[in-house]
Copies of this chain bind each other. A is one copy, B any other.
């Protein structure tokens, strides 16, 4: 393998490939990036055995291709090194003793290579009729649900986002069993039903490498993997085995109380009250609604207490007093991010449902905390 390439071109693609490199140091080959140079261009591949990232640099962006070939090199070292080089032409050459030489005018750098045959291969596959949607919509769907994912490995299915594809819509749901976030989007076409769980960790890496251009992303769904395709990038992630809990019946259809409040009023009140919320990770705050007044309060007896009041824009003759985690509330509000939000309640032991007043495609559910 021997070629010359502009530093900025290589670093741009290495920045993508490095995201697929394992962050655990257990299996050295998974810390590597595979360089495959053909007459058509350079392919960079990285994998941590859960996901695969392939990015391609077309020959017209490469200054010279003198000898094709394949090498497998430490992702961290090649990325850090190339990033630190000035934006000049870099020569990369494989030499005997499984080494590569990276040279510029002033720098000479050699890296030991790993065996190409040890690099795991996970096959990309493509459907004839993939799901196609705008990147912005896809990213938004992930970003507004991923935060509700469970961090606990003890229930693996909850560490992913559930995608239910049915005809012309996708329903994405994440839950850690104390809260839930569900986003519904419409897509074009008439797709076969499928119900799958995408690992949140890997799909968040995908979201990082999708740029904000107003273009499409292709989604190819298989039984045990899912492949995303956009620009010069292919991204594969394995799916999580098992069945996601049926969340369709968790969200009631009727509510005793519906209160419409200003986003800023609610968010800043909870944000301030969270300063004095007790419980290391629960951060309990008390939410009270009476007439058209909302009161949010919290206290730590040895330190002090805080009380926030503001109005809802609709009057209710029912009153309620219910406790929540302030963190779950602010997470949910950040996902909704609408000028006005609708709070829907059914008594003090039933979950609260939060949606935007404008559209109902995103639903946030939070289970109350019982206080005694």
Contacts and interface: CB of A to CB of B under 8 A. Distances in A.
Interface of A: 74, 77, 80-81, 84-86, 99, 106-112, 265, 268-269, 271-272, 275-276, 302-310
Contact of A74 (B109, B111, B303, B307): B303
Contact of A309 (B106, B265, B306): B106
A86 B307 contact: no
A272 B306 contact: no
Given A77-B275, A275-B77, A306 B84 contact: no
A84, A85, A310: residue with the most chain B Cβ atoms closer than 10 Å: A84
Given A85-B272, A86-B268, A272-B85, A77 B304 contact: yes
B310 A110 contact: no
A275 B111 contact: no
Given A77-B275, A109-B306, 4 more contacts: A81-B306, A84-B271, A106-B308, A112-B302
The 3 A-B pairs at the shortest CB distance, nearest first, are namely A111-B304, A108-B307, A109-B306
Nearest to A272: B84
A319 to B, nearest CB: 19
A309 B103 CA distance: 12
Contact of A112 (B74, B304, B309): B304
A15 to B, nearest CB: 17
